[in-house]
Amino acid sequence: MQINLTGLGKRYNYEWIFRNLTYTFESGTSYAILGHNGSGKSTLLTIIAGHNLYSEGQLEYTVNGKKIQPDEAYRHLSLTAPYLELVEEFSLLEMLDFHTRFKPLRQQLSTTALIDRMGLHKSKHKFVKDFSSGMKQRLKLGIAIYSDTSLLLLDEPTTNLDQEGVAWYQEHVAQNKTGRLIIVGSNIQHEYSFCEQQLRISDYHSATAKPRV
């Protein structure tokens, strides 16, 4: 997948979060969107994911040389973020069975094999609502990383993870990055250390920008 941003801007009421963002994300490359808390990293990721609307500019997706409509982009991407919720009334097995009805796993991985890779085999019949915050985050990451998608969006991916969980994240992202476009929103170095390119969202702030009428 390739993503082209041209003059992209987002504002809430009269405040511009970022503006005049022109950038190209290429498949096979990992990118870090850097910036302090509240700088617009999550906003940009949710716009790319189609969960949020931009205020000006253009955003184009290309898959295998063919442009696709924005409302079809979700089929090609997976996203994990602290603000996304799991279906807590499901057991772990039920959660994965539900998810894979819509997005299969990479390399025809079975749900049982994914549970093993997440280190959650002792909890496969446990309700998600009874998981610790670290277990929930590992589940979110496992679903996103191992979904058969060409675009992987990771927003603050090691939130609620301990040192062992961080090592798990780094290992499994490294194992599943080949041929993929990965974009990480973060201000923590160990979350994006594998990224080849960096985009600083603060470079596209404009305190004096006026809203268009």
Each residue of 123-140: pLDDT tens digit?
999 999 999 999 999 999
CA dist 163 and 72 (Å) reads: 37
Tokens of 43: 């906003």
User: 159: how many CB neighbours lie within 10 A of its CB?
Assistant: 20
Domain annotation covers residue 49: yes
Burial class (CB in 10 A: 0-12, 13-18, 19+), 64: exposed
Domain count, the chain: 1
Percent of the chain with pLDDT over 90: 91
- pLDDT at position 26: 97
**Tokens at 16, concatenated:** 């511009």
The model's pTM is 0.94
Q: Which domain holds residue 104?
A: 2-204
Average model confidence (pLDDT) across the chain: 94
Asked if residue 80 belongs to a domain, the reply is yes
* Number of helical (H) and strand (E) elements in the chain, helices listed first: 6, 9
SS3 label, residue 70:
helix
- Determine, yes or no, domain membership for 212: no
> Is residue 35 included in any domain, yes or no?
yes
Q: Is 21 within a domain? A: yes
Residue 210 placed within a domain: no
Q: Where is average pLDDT lowest: 81-85, 130-134, 139-143, 190-194?
A: 81-85
- CATH for 161: 3.40.50.300
pLDDT at 28 over 50: yes
